[in-house]
Structure 1
Amino acid sequence: MTTMGSGDFTYEPVDDWAKLPPGWSFKEIGGIGVDSHDNVYVFNRGEHPMIVLDRDGNFLRSWGEGIFPRAHGVFVAPDETLWLTDDADHTVRQCTTEGKILLTLGTPGKPAPYMSGDPFHRCTHTAMSPQGDLYVSDGYGNARVHKYAPDGRPLLSWGGPGTDPGEFNIPHNITCDADGWVYVADRENHRVQVFDADGKYETQWNNLHRPSGLFMPPGKCPVCYVGEIGPVAAVNRNVPNLGPRVSILDHTGKRLSRIGGIGPGLGPDQFLSPHGLCVDRHGDIYVGEVSWTNWPQTFPNQPRPDNLRSLRKFRKTT
């Protein structure tokens, strides 16, 4: 058995974990979440956008067909509603675990003007403060974070394109801690920026390569799991030790552990593009990858293999 990680964060990969109905496929996974019962919500870009599995990978149900053109982000709120971000639809939808839509932010199919700062243009993910306020990272066609009241009322926005503190180059993911601080995966600036609840810049975490996925378990001083999708430009595509990988940091940004090989691939210790991730009550890590999109970028002269995978589970062993 392959063992990955170090110290208190050591894992073994669980092969062939997900058991889908015959003929079904995730194609690729934008986001992934887990509820208090360790049911796993796989927000994917296949024919069935939301596929729900139990902790053992058994299929429970699916929903979202015809609603979500391009799954991107999942946040499971304390009340166990799901906040789902669709970057092609330019919306954030609050749904029940059975798929009933409770609230929609944004206008379906109608983006705000490119880099206008108005919500949304290809929004990417959501997070929630301890008070229930919602934060949305926005995204591919904007460089902003928007804050909403629990009822969906807009409160404030911050950010703009650039590399200075408080500016973004693809704010790709977002999470909050128990003190209400906001962490933004500033993907193409190779950093995670940290803000207070009102968008005041506090600090940043460096030594990351294209951070894409973020997950913080609830509680004081949590660790942060960061999916780094690694290089894609031809000039550094084959440089080792840049990812893709999952790094585990403490709440100050100090690295505690890391899983992943020295480069991309289909090996048990390798990733292609860890785009979204979450952790269950047992400490097991679930990673969703955008493998279908990533493969021709990473391996431009090779056809996509039949065993191209998009969902990984890693069982915590320490």
Structure 2
Amino acid sequence: MDSDLFINPGASTSLGEFRVSGQAPYKLDLSWPKHPELFTGRVFAVAVDHIASRVYVAQRGDDIPKVLVFNIDGDLVQAWTNTSSIEEPHGIFLANATSDPTVWITDVGNGPFGHTVKQYSPSGKLLQVLGTPGKAGSSLSPLQFDQPAEVFVHSSGEIYIVDGDGGTNNRLLKLSKDLQVLWMHGEAGSGLAQFSIPHSVCVDGSQRVWVADRGNKRIQVFNSITGDWLGSWGSCFKEDSPYSVSV
């Protein structure tokens, strides 16, 4: 089976796709969504529920719904209007779509609800908060974040978080289903397993964790079980930095 690795190259207006072989499987649909004027804020993240055919879009701005939900055809089906607990969404992830879907959002705001990772129901009900709301920090007990960029929730319930969208931290954490820290890489720098603005994270089916190390203009790869560093890839990022990665 071919492997597809999709990377958002930051300042570039296009999506980079790196494929082992075969033709590019996607093309840009300029007619989606049907009413782009519904985006009244700055769009920052998107997640897709392929089972329910729903697209969740997170946006920033004052006095606006922080999440808009569309169907696959581009029609608006829901707006999260009661989202006072979301300040500045940065990343969004759809977990457990086949059984009990929930929506995870990283919040980089500096107000009373910021520096957190939050779990919501598909309708926008707040279910739980990871981190210490309103308090940036590096503590693991209690767990604190400083501008967490993105979250990936595995089907096992294990959680991967890149923490450091310009804040004090530059780290990758793996949490167990009961929110215990299993392993962490957390040192700023350009060496192996060091980061400069870890901006995006995903896990593939071969027990590999992929991290977009934005400030260092590279992708780093780790073993999802042990946390061991497996390698890095930066030869294609001469000008633009990788802002997001998806496998």
TM-score, normalised to structure 2, is 0.77
Structure-1 separation of matches of 2:122 and 2:199:
24
What residue in structure 2 maps to residue 85 of structure 1? 106
2:86 equivalent among 60, 65, 68: 68
Partner of 2:230: 202
The two structures, once aligned, show a CA RMSD in angstroms of 2.3
Give yes or no for the alignment of 1:96 onto 2:121: yes
Which amino acid in structure 2 is aligned with residue 145 of structure 1?
Answer: L
Match of 2:183 among 127, 152, 156: 156
Distance in 2 between the 1:20 and 1:106 partners?
36
Q: Which amino acid aligns with 2:42?
A: E
What is the identity percentage for the equivalent residue pairs of Structure 1 and Structure 2?
33
1:90/1:108 contact within 8 Å kept: yes
Contact (CA 8 Å) 2:163, 2:172: kept in 1 or not?
A: yes
Asked if the contact 1:194/1:204 (under 8 Å) is kept, the reply is: yes
Work out the CA distance in 2 between the residues paired with 1:102 and 1:153. Answer: 18
Decide which of 206, 214, 224 is 1:187's aligned counterpart: 214
Deviation at 1:196, TM superposition (A): 0.8
SS at match of 2:90: strand
Contact between 1:119 and 1:146, CA under 8 Å: does it hold in 2? Answer: no
- Unpaired runs of 5+ residues, structure 1, are 217-318
Query: Aligned equivalents of 1:130 and 1:106: distance in 2?
Result: 21
**1:255-281 CA distance string (max 9 Å, x none):** xxxxxxxxxxxxxxxxxxxxxxxxxxx
- 8 Å CA contact 1:127–1:174 kept in 2: the answer is yes
Name the counterpart of 1:166.
193
Instruction: Trace 1:206-285 onto structure 2 (pairs within 5 A).
Output: 206=234, 207-208=236-237, 209-216=240-247
What is the rounded CA distance, in whole Å, between the counterparts of 1:43 and 1:103 in structure 2? 18
Alignment check: 8 A CA contact 1:129 1:178 kept = no
Name which structure has the greater RCO, CA cutoff 8 Å, separation 6+. Answer: 1
Question: Could you give the per-residue CA deviations for residues 111-154 of structure 1, whole angstroms, max 9, x where no partner exists?
Answer: 1169xxx7300001011335321011001211111111113233
Contact 2:220–2:233 at 8 Å: present in 1 too? Answer: yes
1:281 counterpart residue number: none
Residue 43 of structure 1 is matched in structure 2 by: 58
Structure 2: distance between partners of 1:112 and 1:28: 26
Q: Relative to structure 2, which stretch is displaced further, 174-183 or 50-59?
A: 174-183
Q: What secondary structure sits across from 2:215 in the alignment?
A: helix
What is the CA-CA distance between 1:17 and the residue it aligns to? Answer: 1.7
Deviation larger for 166-175 or 33-42: 33-42
Moved over 3 A (4+): 4-7
Where 1:188 maps in the other structure, the secondary structure is: helix
Determine the C-alpha separation between the residues in 1 that align with 2:40 and 2:146: 25
What residue in structure 2 maps to residue 32 of structure 1?
46
Partner of 2:7: none
Q: Distance in 2 between matches of 1:24 and 1:13?
A: 19
Partners of 2:183 and 2:27 in 1: how far apart?
42
CA distance in 2, matches of 1:24, 1:57: 11
Q: Which residue of 2 aligns with 1:18?
A: 33
The residue that corresponds to 2:3 in the other structure is none
Q: What is residue 11 of structure 2 aligned with on the other side?
A: none
Report how many residues are paired.
209
Quick check: 1:120–1:138 contact (8 Å CA) kept in 2? yes
